[in-house]
Amino acid sequence: MKKKIVLVILLTFGCVSSAYLLISIPTTTSMRITSQEHLDELIQQGLQEQGITNEHYRVYTAVRDSLFTRKVYQIDTPPGFSKTTLHYELHRLLTNYGVQLPGKVLFPEQDIHLYVTANGTIHRTLRVRTSPDLTSSSDSTRNSLPDSTEL
């Protein structure tokens, strides 16, 4: 009989503790994209964080027909720039807003097309390509690696 009373008390304490934790934890509001301009601001912020200045990309509107238009970012990067790191950082930034960023690598150029999607719809296309005319001022992906001549 004592064991049953102890079990009932422990179960009651567990239920009350669980209910308290459930009520006391604040609900998190997920961040949402409020407009297409907000999405553009986030993309431009992510590009700036990766050292891509306004001079290294251009934005144009792709028109397929009267119903289909989409903004396309044409991004030029210097040789040796890590496009994978750019993809990862943009993905990390946009995931907080419920936006996915699948990509496709084009060979042999090794250019990347990134598709900004939300709710099953592609809203933006980012075409990241290597421009041999650009020189990288500081290549953060190679600073910590030894030079191949030193090996």
Q: What is the C-alpha separation between 84 and 103, in angstroms, rounded?
A: 10
Asked if residue 150 belongs to a domain, the reply is no
Asked if residue 95 belongs to a domain, the reply is yes
Asked if residue 109 belongs to a domain, the reply is yes
Tokens representing residue 122 in the block: 């592609």
Using the 8-state DSSP alphabet, how is residue 35 labeled?
Answer: S
Burial annotation 86-99 (CB, 10 A radius, 16+ → b, else e): bbeebbebbeeeeb
Asked if residue 6 belongs to a domain, the reply is no
Q: What is the C-alpha separation between 59 and 115, in angstroms, rounded?
A: 14
Asked if residue 22 belongs to a domain, the reply is no
- The domain total for the chain is 1
Asked if residue 101 belongs to a domain, the reply is yes
Output the pTM of the full model.
0.69
- Residue-wise pLDDT tens for the chain (151 aa)? 888 899 999 999 999 999 998 888 876 656 788 889 999 999 999 999 999 999 999 999 988 777 888 999 999 999 999 999 999 999 999 998 989 999 999 988 889 999 999 888 899 999 999 988 877 554 444 333 344 343 3
Q: Give the domain CATH number at 59.
A: 3.30.460
Residues of the domain holding 51: 36-130
Asked if residue 78 belongs to a domain, the reply is yes
Asked if residue 122 belongs to a domain, the reply is yes
